[in-house]
Structure 1
Amino acid sequence: MFSAVEIAAAFGGGILGAAIGALPAFIMAGVLVLANMTDLAFGPYFGPHIAFAGGVAATAFAGKRGLEAGNNILMPLAKFNDGYILLVGGIFGAAGLVVQKLLAGMGTPTDTVALTVALSGIIARLVFGNGKLFGGYAMPDSRTVVFLIVLGLGVGLISGYASLVTKNAVIGFGVAATTLIFLQFMGVGPVTHHLALPAALAAMATGSIWAGGLFGVLGALLGDFFGKTMNSGDTHVDPPALTIALLTLIVTLFMS
């Protein structure tokens, strides 16, 4: 199912993800998707369950040591010149590969990469954070609801269209992940990969761009829910990963 070489490579990927930062590592996955290098984008090099998850865990560890906010996934952790922080990234990177392969081997009916990212973040919260997983949910105001619906609809329609035209379910995900460069360097920008990927999968399952629009809206609303309930703690548990895992499960069970 997996080899010692793959585990070693994922260990290296987790270290790299910690060194350059979780979000930069995820952006690189998007770039590689657009370059049609999906083996690197979802494998030991920059697979989100490896490099991003490793970076998230290493950031949580840095937070536990009082060096950085435990949820600042934009920060390249090489700044601390601390090998132990990078080792945490490597351990979680290797574990991410193992867990994802096990989930896929069991036939888990969802996106096992996204599910592994979510599980890894939860474990990092329990090990390095305050252990608080759930917080209260406050309904967004009407202005925010309208924004989420319009954004979800737009991203869902265009991602669904792109997937139908190219026959590539991850092209919209690649675009969305790459555009996070605006968030990284400008401090503001929409997070839309949890809209784009479920929308593409729904559109391809049904052959309808309108299904893509619907799942884009669902992704936006669910992402807001998970963001407010799961990120009340002091480390990062990834709302998009939770959203993708849930919506992919729905597509797989009821639409495929």
Structure 2
Amino acid sequence: MQPLNLCPPALLRGLRGILTDIDDTMTAEGGIAPEALAALHDLRSADVPVIAITGRPAGWSEPFALAWPIAAIVAENGSVMLHRGADGELLREFSQDAASRAANFERLQACAAELLAQVPGARLATDSAGRLTDIAVDHSEFAHLAPAQIEQVCALMRAHGLTATVSSIHINGWIGEHSKWSAAEWAVRRLLQVPFDAREWAYVGDSTNDQLMFERVPLSVGVANIRRFLPQLHTLPAFITAGERGVGFAELARALLAARSM
């Protein structure tokens, strides 16, 4: 990882927009950092679209999809896209049809019940009521699980046929091929009506569940607090910010806007 201030301005100047994680990338303890919110307004004023891709549930994400100056939030790791319609109303779109979601829901609840029974100390995330297509176990937001317990949860999810990923706060499990990568492709095509070219976007993240994007997006950026996950990362972002969380996100926004003004 190179410091973001060493990123050539020409690379930043050629970007179409920013793809970003939310928790501990723009926020701290569930609230967006003032620096990050100001950066979103600056990017919107410069016609730089921002698409947030998160493991958070649709219910948690809906108010932010309306309040923040962003193009969309794709929630539940690529399953639910939330964006404003022409009249400003909230639109909700799914990557799976209703029949698939209903069948998957039963499997997810069975997996959740087994997790709670077999992993001592495991508890579902407090935002679980807003989840439509996945389950989440809290490991660092309001509860704490040791690394061995986190791995046990992941193993049980996979035994039930789920994809399992670990964010900075939750262990997420879902059924289907969707991911943060497919979310980016879907959102860019749907909202901007152009093909998704990873070379035209920056991706910002902070933890192990961002690694697919770090691998596939050339201009990938980790906010400084990603350092606590370095022992678990097999793919690093290309650049790292000096600031943590929303301060780091704002650092990228300033660099991109400065490069465009040159």
The higher relative CO (CA closer than 8 Å, separation ≥ 6) is in: 2
- Per the normalisation by structure 1, the TM-score is 0.24
Q: Which has the higher strand share?
A: 2
Q: Which has the higher helix share?
A: 1
